[in-house]
Structure 1
Amino acid sequence: MYTTMSLPEIIRTQYSLKSVHLKREVEFEVFMPDDLMGNEQLNLLLLNDGQDAGALRLQETLADLYGNRKISAVAAVAIKTSAARLEEYGVAGVPDFGGRGSKAQAYTNFIIKELVPFIQETVAGPINGRRAFAGFSLGGLTAFDIAWNNDNYFDAAGVFSGSFWWRKKDLKDGYTDNDRIMHERIRTTKNKPELKFWLMTGTEDELSDRNRNFIIDSIDDTIDVIKELLKKGYRRPEDITYYEKVGGRHDLATWADALPAFLCWAFGRKNV
Structure 2
Amino acid sequence: MTLARLTLAAAGLLPLAATATATTVRVHYDSPDGGVSIRGDKGPMSWSKGVAAKSDDGKVWTYSWPDELGDVVMKPVLGEDKVAIGGTYKLAAGSTRDIYPFFGAPFGKVRIIPDFASPQLKNSRKLRIYLPPSYEENRAKRYPVLYMHDGQNLFDARTAAFGAEWGIDETVNRLVATGAMEEIIVVGIDNTFSRIDEYTPCCDPQYGGGQLDTYQRFVVDTVKPYVDSTLRTMPGKESTAIMGSSLGGIASVWIAQKNAGVFSKAGALSGSFWWNKQELVTALPPRLPVKFYLDAGTVKDGLGDTIRMRDAMLRQGYRQDADLFYHAAEGAGHNEKSWAARVDKPLTWFFPWQ
Q: Give the TM-score band, short-chain normalised.
A: 0.7 to 0.9
* 1:1-272 alignment runs, 5 A limit: 7-15=105-113, 16-36=115-135, 37-40=138-141, 42-53=143-154, 54=156, 55-91=165-201, 94-98=202-206, 100-128=208-236, 130-167=239-276, 179-186=277-284, 189=285, 191-206=286-301, 218-270=302-354
8 A Cα contact 2:141 2:232, kept in partner: no
Q: Match of 1:64, as an amino acid?
A: R
SS of alignment partner, residue 140 of structure 1: helix
Distance between the aligned counterparts of 2:223 and 2:144, measured in 1?
Answer: 15
What secondary structure, in the 3-state scheme, does the structure 2 residue paired with 1:146 have? helix
Q: Distance in 1 between matches of 2:140 and 2:175?
A: 20
Give the Cα–Cα distance (whole angstroms) in 2 for the partners of residues 143 and 158 of structure 1.
Answer: 6
Structure 2 residue matching 1:25: 3-state secondary structure: strand
Q: Distance in 1 between matches of 2:255 and 2:209?
A: 13
Q: TM-score when scaled to structure 2?
A: 0.65
Aligned-pair CA distance for 1:259: 0.9
| 1:196-235: CA deviation from partner (whole Å, max 9, x where unpaired) | 11111111134xxxxxxxxxxx111111111111121111
C-alpha deviations, 1:240-261, integer Å up to 9, x for none? 1111111101111000001112
CA distance in 2, matches of 1:77, 1:257: 20
Unaligned runs of 5+ in 1: 168-178, 207-217
Gap change, CA 1:269 and 1:22, over 3 Å in 2? same
* Aligned equivalents of 1:3, 1:156: Cα separation in 2: 34
In structure 2, what is the Cα distance between the partners aligned to 1:99 and 1:56? 26
CA distance in 2, matches of 1:201, 1:126: 30
Which protein shows a greater Rg?
A: 2
The CA deviation string for residues 143-202 of structure 1, in whole angstroms up to 9 with x for no partner, is 1110111110101111111100001xxxxxxxxxxx32101231xx3x432111111111
Structure 1 residue 98 displacement after superposition: 2.9
Cα drift, residue 265 of structure 1: 1.0
**TM-score normalised by L of structure 1:** 0.83
Asked whether the 8 Å contact 1:39–1:125 carries over to 2, the reply is no
Partner SS for 1:255:
helix
Distance of 1:44 and 1:125 partners within structure 2? 7
Stretches of 4+ aligned residues off by more than 6 angstroms? 1-5
In structure 2, the CA distance between the partners of 1:33 and 1:182, relative to structure 1 (3 Å rule), is same
- Alpha-carbon RMSD: 1.9
Counterpart-to-counterpart distance in 2, 1:38 and 1:239: 32
CA contact (8 A) 2:145 2:233 kept: no
- Structure 2 CA distance, aligned partners of 1:256 and 1:126? 26
- Distance, in Å, in 2 between the alignment partners of 1:125 and 1:157 is 18
Shift of residue 2, structure 1, vs aligned partner: 7.4
Q: Distance in 2 between matches of 1:113 and 1:143?
A: 15
Instruction: Show the counterpart of 1:173.
Output: none
Task: Give the residue type in structure 1 aligned to 2:336.
Answer: L
Tell which has more relative contact order, 1 or 2 (C-alpha 8 A, sep 6+).
1
User: How far apart are residue 34 of structure 1 and its match?
Assistant: 3.4
2:198/2:209 contact within 8 Å kept: yes
**Alpha carbons 2:146, 2:242 under 8 Å: kept:** yes
Secondary structure in 2 matching 1:145: helix
Q: 1:230 and 1:33 mapped to 2: Cα distance? A: 35
Cα distance between partner residues in 2 of 1:151 and 1:87: 23
Q: Name the % identity.
A: 26
Shift, 1:58, TM fit = 1.1
Q: CA deviation at 1:41?
A: 5.0
- Residue in structure 2 matched with residue 210 of structure 1 by the alignment: none
Write the distance in 2 (CA, Å) between the matches of 1:198 and 1:125.
23
Contact conserved, 2:144 with 2:233, CA < 8 A, in 1? no
- 1:38 to partner: Cα distance: 4.0
C-alpha distance in structure 1 between counterparts of 2:345 and 2:281, whole Å = 25
- Decide whether aligned partners of structure 1 residues 40 and 251 sit closer, same or farther in structure 2, where only a CA change above 3 A counts: same
Aligned length: 243
